Amino acid sequence: MRVILLRFGELYLKGHNRNIFENTLIDNIRTMLKGEDFKFEKTFGRYVISNFSQDAESRIVLKLQKVFGLYSLSIATEVDAKEQDILEEVLKIDCRNNTFKVFVKRADKAFPISSMDFAKKLGEEVLNKNEGSSVDLYNPNKTIYVDIRLNKKAYIFSDIIKCQGGLPLGSSGKGLLLLSGGIDSPVAGYLMAKRGMKLEALHFYSYPYTSLLAKEKVITLARKLCEYVGEIKLHIVSFTTVQEEIHKHCREEYMITIMRRIMMRVAEKICDKNDLGAILTGESLGQVASQTMQSMTSTENVLEKKPVFRPCIAMDKEDIMAVAKNIDTYETSILPYEDCCTVFLPKNPIIKPILEKVEHEESFLDIDKLVEGCLGSEEIMRITLN
C-alpha cells in the first residue's frame, strides 16, 4: 500500500506545549487536504497518510508541502514486517548504475534479525539485482530506508521531500499585515505565517489617484498567500483624504513619514478591534528613505501597545525576490499599477526625520479626524483560495 510519511521538526523543542502544537498541526493538515479522500493516522510516533487514490497522490504531496510545521515527507510503501515482503519491495527500487546504501531502523526489537545484519542482507540482494550498482555507505546517491515499526508494519522509501518547516499556523497568534502591491510585504506575510502567525491584511489605496487595478492586484496577492494560510480577512481603507491633507498642510519632505505614522495609527486601531497582536510590514533596513532606523523609529513612535514585526529587515532585495518567486507572488507584485505611496511623492524625502519636527508638521493636521475617516472608509473582504 502506498502511504505518505510525515515528519515535523521544531515541535520537538516545545516541551509540554507540544500537544497543543501537534493538534494545531493535525488540524491544519486536515484543513489543507479538505476535499481529498484519505486516512490520517498517528501511530507509534509517526504520521501516516493512506487510502488515497493514485491520481490524488501528487496533488496531496503539493498541498502538504505548504503546511507550516511539516519538515519533510516521504512517499513509502507499507508492507507487513516480514523479511520476504520487505525484500520484494526493496528490489523494486531502481539502483542500476548507481551508488546506494540500505538503512534499516527497527523500532520492533521482536523482528528476528538485527538492523545491521538485515541491511547487509538486503544490500547484497540489491547489488545482485541491479547492474552497475555499488554500495557507498558514506556518500550514496540513493539511500533505501526500511523502517520497521511496532505495529508490525514496515515502510520502505528512498526519497525525502522537503516541506516548509516553521511552526504550525495559529500557534503564534494573529497579526495584521500591511499589504501593499509591492514585492516585500507579501514575503513578510509569508515569513510570519511560517513562524505560526495567522494573518489578516490591511491595504491603503488612493482612488482616484491610483487605479482600481491596484486594488485588484492586492486581492490577487492576498489570494496567493491563502495557498499557505487558508483565508485572509482583508481590510481595505481609503487613504486619499489623508494624502491630500498632508500635501496641502505639511512640508513636502515629511510627506512619507507622516503618511506612515497615520498608517500605523489606523493599523493599531484595526488590531484592537479584531484582536490582532502585532503589525507586520515588509520593510528592509536602508532600502528606501522611509526605512532608515530614524524613519522607522519615528513611525513606530505613534504606537501605544502593538509591536511591529519586520521579518525582511535584514534581507537583501535579491533574497526577498527569491522568496517572492518561490511563493509565486513576484509576477503579480511587479505589475505596474501605482501604489498609494507613489502619489505626491516628494523629490527629497527626509532620510533621518527628527521626531520634534515631524510632530510639528503633524500639528497642522487633525490626526484623529483623519484616522477616523480612514476607519469609516473601511471595506472588508474575506479572501479564500476559490
- Interacting residue ranges for ligand ATP, rule: CB under 6 A: 178-180, 182-185, 202-204, 281-283, 287-288, 290-291, 339-341
Residue sitting closest to Mg ion (CB): 182
Q: Kindly tell me the burial class for residue 271, based on how many C-beta atoms sit within 10 Å of its own C-beta (0-12, 13-18, 19 or more).
A: buried
Nearer to ligand ATP, 142 or 310 (CB): 310
The H-or-E segment that residue 61 falls in is: helix 57-64
Distance (Å, rounded) from C-alpha 46 to C-alpha 34? 21
Shortest distance, CB of residue 365 to ligand ATP, whole angstroms? 19
Nearer to ligand ATP, 202 or 262 (CB): 202
Residue 180 in the binding site for Mg ion (CB under 5 A): yes
Distance (Å, rounded) from C-alpha 245 to C-alpha 366? 9
Instruction: Report how far apart, in Å, the C-alpha atoms of 272 and of each of 33, 200, 263, 266, 305 are.
Output: 32, 13, 14, 10, 10
Nearer to Mg ion, 114 or 342 (CB): 342
**Is beta strand 174-178 parallel, antiparallel or unpaired with respect to 142-148?**
unpaired
Residues 322-351, interacting with Mg ion (CB under 5 A): 339
Contact yes or no for 266/374 (Cβ under 8 A): yes
Shortest distance, CB of residue 303 to Mg ion, whole angstroms? 20
- Residue range at the interface with Mg ion (CB under 5 A); choices 75-83, 181-189, 305-313, 323-331: 181-189
128 C-beta neighbours (distance < 10 Å), count: 10
Q: Tell me the H-state helices in 154-286.
A: 184-194, 212-229, 240-249, 255-274
- Residue range at the interface with Mg ion (CB under 5 A); choices 180-188, 192-200, 301-309, 363-371: 180-188
Shortest distance, CB of residue 329 to ligand ATP, whole angstroms? 10
Distance (Å, rounded) from C-alpha 221 to C-alpha 144? 41
Shortest distance, CB of residue 340 to ligand ATP, whole angstroms? 4
Q: Which does 288 bind (CB under 5 to 8 A by kind): Mg ion, ligand ATP, none?
A: ligand ATP
Q: Kindly tell me the burial class for residue 113, based on how many C-beta atoms sit within 10 Å of its own C-beta (0-12, 13-18, 19 or more).
A: middle
Residue sitting closest to ligand ATP (CB): 182
The full length of the chain comes to 386
Q: Which of 182, 186, 189, 353 binds Mg ion (CB under 5 A)?
A: 182
Nearer to ligand ATP, 12 or 207 (CB): 207
Shortest distance, CB of residue 337 to ligand ATP, whole angstroms? 11
Distance (Å, rounded) from C-alpha 137 to C-alpha 326? 34
Q: Which three three-digit cell numbers place residue 166? A: 516553521
Nearer to ligand ATP, 32 or 232 (CB): 232
Q: Which three three-digit cell numbers place residue 349? A: 524625502
Q: Which does 147 bind (CB under 5 to 8 A by kind): Mg ion, ligand ATP, none?
A: none
Q: Which does 240 bind (CB under 5 to 8 A by kind): ligand ATP, Mg ion, none?
A: none
- Residue range at the interface with Mg ion (CB under 5 A); choices 90-98, 179-187, 200-208, 374-382: 179-187
Nearer to ligand ATP, 85 or 339 (CB): 339
Contact yes or no for 7/49 (Cβ under 8 A): no
Interface ranges with Mg ion (CB under 5 A) = 180, 182, 339
